[in-house]
Amino acid sequence: MKNKIVIIILLVLAFLIVISAVGYTYNLSFIGKIVSEETRKKMDLKDAMRHFPDNINEYTLVTDNPGMIEVKNVCHNIEDNPILKNTGRTGEACMRTYVAEYVILTGTTTNLSSGTTTRDSVRINLTKFTLANDLLHLLVDESSKNKKIEEGSMFQVAPFATGWKPISSKFDLIVAQEGSAILGPTVKTYSFASTTDITKEPIQYFLQKYPAK
């Protein structure tokens, strides 16, 4: 009889432990939902920053102006895209892009009245597809078919932008944009160049770090 009572007590304790563990897990999950958005943003930004060196020869990473290193999480409706709607798929296709600005410190133009400085710059976009990856790869392949440049695996995204699909699985698409960065104490604007020079040092750095397929 005593043995049966001991067994019953042990079973009850075991049950209570399981219930407590489930409750604890639920609480952690609930707390996680509350802080996940802000935590994710901080983690994304921290991850973004580690991919961009402070200097690439004469070019310097801009970090002292608002929004110069950005994390963009973007989704688009598949059926809204003229290429993807023919697949018959619906829903969203999503991507996360890390964007950073490199400026060359020589040859700058300063506007004394506004306190802004204009510098030649290269903007680097590192993109990872996060939802409907196969469709986004299809979109890039179809869009770049007739836009290949001399390097073969690289393609012209726009007159001021060059892109490539890297071998590394870390990112699915890299785009380099050229232009002029207008920087000030509380302002950041950007004007695109009319052509792209893929020999510029930031482009060559990321092309060597993440070679094109």
Q: Is residue 99 domain-shared with residue 184, that is, in the same domain? A: yes
Residue 70: its H or E element:
strand 70-77
The domain total for the chain is 2
My answer on whether 42 and 76 are in the same domain is no
For residues 190 and 87, membership in a common domain is answered with yes
Dihedrals phi, psi of 192, to nearest 5 degrees: -80, 150
Range of the domain at 21: 1-50
Ramachandran assignment for 162, one of left (phi > 0), alpha (psi -120 to 50 degrees), beta (any other): beta
Q: Does 8 lie in the same domain as 73?
A: no
Same domain, 20 and 89: no
pLDDT in tens, the chain (213 residues): 444 443 333 333 333 333 233 333 334 344 445 556 777 777 777 888 889 999 999 998 987 655 568 889 999 999 998 888 888 888 999 999 999 989 887 656 666 666 677 788 899 999 999 999 999 999 998 888 878 886 568 998 888 899 999 999 999 999 999 988 777 766 667 778 877 888 999 999 999 999 998
Following DSSP, what letter does each residue of 24-64 receive, concatenated?
Answer: HHHHHHHHHHHHHHHHHHHHHHHHHHTTS-SEETTEEE--S
Specify whether 57 is located in the same domain as 147: yes
137 and 161 assigned to the same domain: yes
Same domain assignment for residues 1 and 97: no
pTM over 0.85: no
Residues paired with 32 in a beta bridge: none
CB 125 within 8 A of CB 164: no
Looking at the structure, tell me whether residues 73 and 168 fall in a common domain.
yes
Contact 156, 196 (CB under 8 A): yes
- Same domain flag for 4 and 61: no
198 and 120 in a common domain:
yes
Q: Are 92 and 121 in the same domain?
A: yes
